[in-house]
Amino acid sequence: MENQAIVQNYQNMYPDIIMLKDVSGSVYSQYAQNNFIPLNYVLTQDHMVEWWMEGFNETAMRNALENVLPLVTVALENDGIAVPQGDVLSYDVTLHNWDTVSQTFYAMTEVTIPGGSTYPLLGPVELTLNPGQEISATLTQDIPGFAPQGTYEFRATLGTYPPVETMDVSNFEFEVVE
């Protein structure tokens, strides 16, 4: 908690920070340095201090960022946000391995419907990406004619299975209309 207060005070004094964001936009870190008394820090997405140090050590900073940012990311994109009942939802998915070694993981998708119930759609499917490999695809999901109208959340999760460790998550909302 002491680290949290130190970094928050520093951030208030020196608001010029560099924002680092992964391609999916689901995880970000902050790094700041002042020319007089350098304080370097990495914050999690919920603004908790993950790591900090005084002075500048590029190797330590890179290691801290690598521990916060996911090795494998998923990014979802959906062009249309309204889908009629009985129609098809189309979306783009991109998976990227940022590591220097192959990564094997599971991919799963699910949907949360109006009212809050969540249903699995795809997976878990085991995938392996080579170092630096990125794959993209346009996928579809049938929307049943009886699907309730309202706002849905579509979510893709990468991680170990059974769900022990989440590597990355991406989501989007869409509307089911009559």
Q: Burial letters for 66-84: b for 16+ Cβ neighbours within 10 Å, e otherwise?
A: eebbbbbbbbbebeeeebe
Q: Mark whether 55 and 102 lie in a shared domain.
A: no
* CB atoms inside a 10 Å sphere around CB 120: 10
- What is the number of other CB atoms lying within 10 angstroms of the CB of residue 172? 15
In this predicted structure, what is the pLDDT of residue 19?
42
Mind listing the pLDDT tens digit of every residue in the chain (178 residues)?
A: 445 555 555 455 544 444 444 444 433 334 444 444 455 666 655 556 666 666 666 676 666 666 666 788 899 998 778 999 999 999 999 999 988 899 999 999 999 999 999 999 998 999 999 998 999 999 999 999 999 999 999 999 999 887 678 888 999 999 999 9
User: Quick one: 48 and 29 in the same domain?
Assistant: yes
Q: What is the predicted pLDDT for the residue at 141?
A: 94
For position 20, what pLDDT does the model report? 42
Q: Identify the domain boundary among 41, 68, 95.
A: 68
- 106 and 45 housed in the same domain: no
Is residue 96 domain-shared with residue 45, that is, in the same domain? no
Which of 89, 88, 85 lies closest to 148, judged by CA? 85
- Which pLDDT score, from 0 to 100, does residue 145 have? 96
Residues 76 and 130 in one domain: yes
What integer pLDDT is reported at residue 30 of this predicted model? 43
In this structure, the strands spanning 82-84 and 166-177 are parallel
Nearest to residue 127, comparing CAs of 99, 155, 108, 154?
Answer: 108
If asked whether residues 80 and 108 sit together in one domain, one would say yes
Same domain, 60 and 81: no
* Helices (runs of H) and strands (runs of E) counted in the chain: 2, 12
Tell me the C-alpha to C-alpha distance, in Å, between residue 127 and each of 29, 72, 122, 155: 27, 11, 13, 17
Q: Number of folded domains in the chain? A: 2
Domain match, 35 and 95 both: no
Q: Are residues 62 and 119 in the same domain?
A: no
Backbone φ/ψ region at 169: left (φ over 0), alpha (ψ -120 to 50), beta:
beta
- Do both 55 and 101 map to the same domain? no
> How many other CB atoms are found less than 10 A from the CB of residue 104?
11
- Write out the residue range of the structural domain in which residue 8 sits: 2-68
Q: Do residue 62 and residue 131 come from a single domain?
A: no
Judge if 46 and 123 occupy the same domain.
no
> What's the CATH number where 117 sits?
2.60.40.3880
